[in-house]
A and B are shown apart, each in its own frame.
Chain A
Amino acid sequence: MSKKFIVNLMLGALMLTGLLQATGGVKDLTGAGATFPYPLYARWFDIYHNETGIQVNYQAIGSGGGIRQLLNKTVDFGGTDAFMNDRELAKSPENPILHFPTCLGAVVITYNIPGNPELKLTPKVISGIFLGKITRWNDPKLVQLNPEVKLPSQKIVVVHRSDGSGTTFVFSDYLSKVSKEWARRVGKGKSLRWPVGLGGKGNPGVAGLIKQISGSIGYVELAFAEKNNLPYASIKNKHGKFIKPTLKSISLAAKVNIPPDTRVSITDTEAPEGYPIASFTWIIFYREQNYGKRSYERAKELINLFWWMIHQGQQYNEDLLYGKLPAPVIKTAEKIIKSATYNGKPILR
């Protein structure tokens, strides 16, 4: 009978795939999360596939998604630009989640106005725009900061992220540090209650919208702005200097003491030449890798990949406008990766 036949066929197919999984080696890993380092990760995993034959499927669904999916154990590792807070970490009490940074990035303020000049912005003006208090491009505060630029008498269209995003976290973390009003009215987080503006999905979505809308302003990762030939602003840092986001000014911002769990914010940096909206981006994973019927081979492949990311992988960072990890940070990351276990025994020695 046709029905029986189809059912048998289905069962057969299921069993076959099961068998394949049991016998063959681990050929693929799945990760999900931050869109901020996505261009770098896409390049890394392409190279890694060519070198080792391992397919690392990374879906850029946003940092919030990376955390959610790791907690749900639907992925092997998560990516996030916002380190998990203590409340989030407490959701996995029996098997702690570890962080290690993979690269440094900067959130830049990008815009689309005629001629696309290079603007200078202060923390006050930035928070004013994103709070919806400065609504026109030729607002006196903007004109005063940029006397040499002819600013249009256009309405400012604020573009922000629509998804839970580490880029948003970094940006709002910065704004909360520099603006009391922002801290009170909006706060910091991966998703916010935005006072104004429209949302684009992912860094690509925001960059896409800004490219399309004249008079828009938004925040994206440096590489996305650069790749799309979008202009970006110099920002006045804590030291009173206007700093343009460059690889150098980003890595200068990272000259801070790294705590052992690497969860540290480097926005509004003390460094005199440091760009104020910079951040690490992290990979998150479970310390004990024997969970949910995972094989030792799988855990081993995952840890090998991590090791590759903080060593061989680093040479590709600057090509794509991500800062390399400073040497002390790599040391800390090594320690963290080595602390991963399978059945309580360390995977890497």
Chain B
Amino acid sequence: MKGKRAFKLSLIIAVLIVAIIFFAAAISLTLGSLPALKEFGWKFFFSKEWDPVSDRFGALPFLVGTLLTSFLALIISLPLSLSISILLGEYMKNGRFSSTVKSLVDLIAAVPSVIYGFWGLEVLVPFVRNLEIKFGIVPYGVGIFTASLILSFMIIPNTASLAREVIELVPGDLKEAAYSLGATRYEVIKKVTLPYARSGILAGILLSLGRALGETMAVTMVIGNNNNIPKNLFYPANTMASVIANEFTEATGDIYYSSLIAIGFALFLVTALFGILGRYIINKTTIKIAK
């Protein structure tokens, strides 16, 4: 059976290519970051100095910028995405209206991030600036807060769709049991559905977080590109992704260049970790629920 063998071989080759892409990517990033990591050691991630004039680099301002924007975005978006998943998973399971809402949520994920950035720059930035003037804060307009607002909206679909799926999977007999005891819908959602769907929601949150950590364009356009540790939430800053977008093509020194790759490598590791963790939780949940 020659054909069979050739066919199996071709399948294996495809699999190998995928695996090679992954490993080669990891290796390339490691090699690229070595010069910087050798030069600065682990201090690279704890030093706040980013000084191309004297070739001293530390990634702390970008770590801080990334963490602040991502978590702030998550806090803002969580009530919104949970509401949508409860709406679709409990109140409106079927029907035309429900499928419209579903498509709209998908659409949020489909709009390219550069368009979010453009809109943010033209509409949201002036809006935030006016707010800042009202509250007597220095009216940068751009900054961590603005970036988080845009991000919080962009990551709604990630949590919403996963959470909805898990909420739909909650066994009907459990809920019916609660209803038959006289519970109101609110009580059922609070006491039965949400606790049951907990791990799925957690997985959704992790995936959203992964998305937020790595989002580049929309953030780059509204964050203000300041390489210092931000003094407050309305201050311009830079994230790991945005500093790469800004400076990668123009880093002249070898150490400068390598430092940017090292930031990319760190981003790779963190998002990979969140991705695996999220997937692991999903797998565990679906198996549990399927049983």
Contacts and interface: CB of A to CB of B under 8 A. Distances in A.
Given A155-B138, A162-B246, A213-B139, A198 B251 contact: no
Contacts of B224: 198-199
Interface string B49-64: 1111110000000000
Contact of A199 (B51, B52, B236): B236
B173 interface: no
Contacts of A32: 249
Interface of B is mostly: loop
A164 B227 contact: no
A214 B236 contact: no
Contact of B249 (A65, A71, A186, A214): A65
B257 A191 contact: no
A307 interface: no
A163 interface: yes
Interface residues of A, number: 37
A70 B129 CA distance: 40
A101 interface: no
Nearest to A4: B10
Interface string B218-251: 0000001111100000001010000000110111
Residue with the greatest number of chain A CB neighbours at <10 A, chosen from B246, B249, B252: B252
Contact of B140 (A64, A66, A198): A198
B140 to A, nearest CB: 6
B86 to A, nearest CB: 39
Q: For this complex, into which size category does the number of interface residues on chain B fall?
A: 20 to 34
A271 interface: no
A310 interface: no
Contacts of B251: 64, 68, 164
Contacts of A68: 249-252, 257
B125 interface: yes
Contacts of A214: 139
Contacts of B246: 162-163, 199, 201
B35 interface: no
A187 interface: yes
B275 interface: no
Contacts of A194: 226-228
A190 B140 contact: no
15 contacts: A66-B250, A68-B250, A68-B251, A155-B138, A157-B139, A162-B238, A164-B52, A189-B52, A189-B53, A194-B226, A194-B228, A198-B224, A199-B224, A213-B139, A215-B139
